[in-house]
Amino acid sequence: MIEFWYEFASTYSYPAAMRVEHLADQAGVVVHWRPFIVGPLFNEQQGLTDSPFNAFPVKGDYMWRDLQRVCDREGLPLHHPSQFPRNSLLAARVAICGLEDGWTPAFSRAVYQANFVDDLDISNPEVLAPLIASVGAGPEHVLAAAASAPVKDQLKDHVRQARERGLFGAPSFVTADGELFWGNDRLEQALDWAVRHQDMESA
Name the residues annotated as catalytic: 10
Binding status of residue 46 toward a second copy by CB under 8 A: yes
Nearer to a second copy, 136 or 166 (CB): 166
Binding status of residue 189 toward a second copy by CB under 8 A: yes
Nearer to a second copy, 45 or 134 (CB): 45
Binding status of residue 23 toward a second copy by CB under 8 A: no
Binding status of residue 5 toward a second copy by CB under 8 A: no
Q: Are 35 and 103 in contact (CB under 8 A)?
A: no
**Which of the stretches 62-70, 84-92, 111-119, 153-161 binds a second copy when contact is defined by CB under 8 A?**
62-70
**Which of the stretches 11-19, 86-94, 127-135, 180-188 binds a second copy when contact is defined by CB under 8 A?**
180-188
Binding status of residue 176 toward a second copy by CB under 8 A: no
Render 144-172 in DSSP notation, one character per residue: HHHTSHHHHHHHHHHHHHHHHTT--SSSE
Measured between alpha carbons, how far is 146 from 20 in angstroms, rounded to an integer? 25
Burial class (CB in 10 A: 0-12, 13-18, 19+), 26: exposed
Measured from the CB of residue 185, what is the shortest distance to a second copy in angstroms? 5
Q: Which of 43, 166, 177, 196 binds a second copy (CB under 8 A)?
A: 166
**Long-range CB contact pairs, 167-170, < 8 A, 24+:** 167/5, 167/36, 167/38, 167/41, 168/41, 168/42, 168/45, 168/46, 169/10, 169/38, 169/41, 170/5, 170/6, 170/7, 170/10, 170/12, 170/13, 170/36, 170/38
Measured from the CB of residue 48, what is the shortest distance to a second copy in angstroms? 10
Q: Are 31 and 60 in contact (CB under 8 A)?
A: no
Measured distance between the N- and C-terminal CA atoms of the chain, rounded to whole angstroms? 16
Q: Which of 58, 149, 200, 203 binds a second copy (CB under 8 A)?
A: 58
Q: Which of 21, 23, 27, 56 binds a second copy (CB under 8 A)?
A: 56
Measured from the CB of residue 44, what is the shortest distance to a second copy in angstroms? 10
Which residues of the chain form contacts with a second copy (CB under 8 A)? 45-46, 56, 58-59, 61-62, 65-66, 69, 73, 166, 168, 180-182, 185-186, 189
